[in-house]
Structure 1
C-alpha cells in the first residue's frame, strides 16, 4: 500500500499540504441544529461553512435540503447533487466530539513521520487536525473498498482518489439511501414483521461476515449502524473500521457480534453473541458478493 508524506496510507489520508492549509484556519464546532443558509455563509476553506461552499463551487452538491440527524460525531444532511439525492455527513471537530476514545481503533497503524506521530499522540492542534482528516478520509477509503467489493453500503460520491476526497474534509458525501421525503430508517428504528426481522438478521450477519472475509471488524456493528430500505440491510459508518493488524481486532470482532445480537432483541431474535460470532466466522469462510465494476 502506498504511503503518504505523513506516513499514513495515501488512500486513507489527505496529503500534508492539506493538513497545513487547514491548520492555519481556526475551526468551530458544528452545532446540532443551524439555519440551512448558514451552511453556505463562510468563505471557501473555512470549516464547516466553507467546506459546504467548496462542495457547491466544485459541483459535488447543488443544494442542502434539510438536516437528517445530529449524532455524537457528525451531523447528517440531505442534499442534492448532479447525480441525485446525496447524504452529506459533516463531522464535528475532533476536540468537540463526545466520541474521543478512538485509540483502540488506530492501534497497529504505522506512522512513518515521527513528528506527525508525536503531534497526534499529544493531541496538539495540528495533531487533532491530522487525526480528524485521517478519520474522515478513512471513511471514504473504506466506503470505496466495500462498494467495489460488492457489499451493501452507500455509494461514495467523491473519489476514488485520495487527492479528490481529501479536499472535502470534514465532509463525506455518499448516495442517499431512500428518498428525500423518506430517508431509509436505521434498523433500530424500523418496525418489522417476524418474517422481515428474520430476513434482516440473516442479512446483518452476512454483512458482518463479508466484512470479516475482507479482513475487517466494523468496531460499532449493531442495528444503530444498519439501514433498512426495500427489505434490504445497508451497512453504514466506517471510519473506525479496523484490520487484523490491530491487536484489539478479536476483541472488537467479538464486541460487534454481541452488539448485533443484543440490538436485535427488540425485533424478537434471541441469538447470543457467541452464537452470532460462530455463524459470522462460518459464513466468512464462504464466497463473497460479486464485486462491482467502477465505470470510467
Structure 2
C-alpha cells in the first residue's frame, strides 16, 4: 500500500522498508503492519490531540515526568508549548511503560523505537502467524474465561509491582496470542506511586475484567480483587506471586472527606478543560 505521510520519516531513515496494510484504527491511534528487514512489525501512528476521542484528563497527567520545571509549568498553564510537551509526555508514557513492563515479565508487545510520533513495536500474532485478535473478538468457554481472567489478574499484579497502572484496561485493549492474553494500549498508563488516582484506576481496570469475563463465568461478578490488590500494594505486601482471594474485609472507618473533595475538584477541573478545548475548536 502507499505509505501514509506520518510513516514516511521512518522509511526515509531506514527503520521501515514497506508498509503492508492497515491493521486497525482506534480512538488514539492507527496501527499499520510494516516490514523491517526480515521482520514484520507494527507501527502505531498516534493521532493528533484534536482527533482523539480519548483526551488527556488531569487525573492521567498527574505524576508524569518531564525534562525540566519550565516544561512542567507550561503544561500546567496549557500554553501552546505546554500542549506540545503534554503531547510528547502522553506518547512517551506508552514507550516508557512498555519497556518497564517487558523488563518485569508482563506480557506486552516488545517496543523498538518511538520516532516522529510513531511507535514501532512487535506484531503480536496467533498460532498461525496472523495478527492476534482482540479479546472481545474471541469466543470463550467458561473454563477459558476463568483461565484468562486469572492470567490477567497476575499481569495486573506484575504491572503494579513494577509501579504501573494501565488506567484503561478492558477487553478492547487485550490481544490473545497462542499463549494467552497480551496487554496493549498504554499511553494513559500512570505511575502507581506518583498519581493520587492510581488506586481508583486500578480498581476500575480489575472491575472491567470481572464484568467482561462474568458473561462467560458468572461467579466472577462478585470478585473484589481490585480492592484486594491495591490494599496489599499500599501495605507493602504485594508480590509477583501473591495469591488473591477475591475477598476483602469490610472497612468501617469514616469516609475520607478530603479525598472525596479532591476527587470532586479534579472532576471540575477536567470539565473546565473540556469546555476550553471545545471553545478553542470552534
TM range (shorter): 0.7 to 0.9
| 1:59 matched to 2:14 | yes
Counterpart of 2:246 in structure 1 is none
Name the residue aligned to 2:96.
141
Q: 1:182 to 1:279 in 2, by over 3 A?
A: farther
Q: 1:99 aligns with which of 44, 47, 54?
A: 54
Which 4+ runs in 1 deviate beyond 6 A?
Answer: none
* Alpha-carbon spacing, 1:169–1:263, altered in 2? closer, same or farther (3 Å): farther
- Evaluate the alpha carbon distance shift between residue 133 and residue 142 of structure 1 in structure 2; reply closer, same or farther with a 3 A threshold: same
- Partner Cα distance (1:112, 1:184) in 2: 36
| Structure of greater relative contact order (alpha carbons < 8 Å, 6+ residues apart) | 1
Q: What residue ranges of structure 2 are gaps of 5+ in the alignment?
A: 242-282
Is residue 202 of structure 1 aligned with residue 150 of structure 2? yes
Partner SS, residue 192 of structure 1? coil
Kept after mapping to 1: 8 A contact 2:134/2:175: yes
Rg larger for: 2
Pairing of 1:129-168 with structure 2 (within 5 A): 129-158=84-113, 165=114, 168=115
Find out whether 1:70 has 2:35 as its counterpart: no
- The structure-2 alpha-carbon separation of the partners of 1:143 and 1:111, relative to structure 1 and needing over 3 Å to count, comes to closer
Q: TM-score, normalised by structure 2?
A: 0.75
Conservation of the 8 A alpha-carbon contact between 2:157 and 2:240: no
The answer on whether the counterparts of 2:175 and 2:183 sit within 8 Å (CA) in structure 1 is: yes
Q: Deviations over 1:210-267 (max 9, x none)?
A: 1111122110112212111114111111111112211111111111121121122333
Q: Which residue does the alignment assign to 2:240?
A: 287
Give a deviation string over 1:55-102, Cα, whole Å, max 9, x none.
Answer: 112222211111111111111111111251111110111122121143
Task: Give the paired residue count.
Answer: 236
How far the C-alpha of 1:114 sits from its partner, in A, is: 4.6
Name the counterpart of 2:165: 217
Q: Partners in 2 of 1:230 and 1:38 — Cα distance? A: 30
Residues 41, 123 of structure 2: 8 Å contact kept? yes
- Structure 1 position 191 matched with structure 2 position 142: no
Unaligned 5+ segments in structure 1 are 1-35, 40-48, 159-164, 289-296
Check the 8 A contact 1:132/1:170 in 2, yes or no.
Answer: no
CA 1:269–1:110: 2 relative to 1, 3 Å? same
TM-score norm. by structure 1 comes to: 0.71
Higher helix share: 2
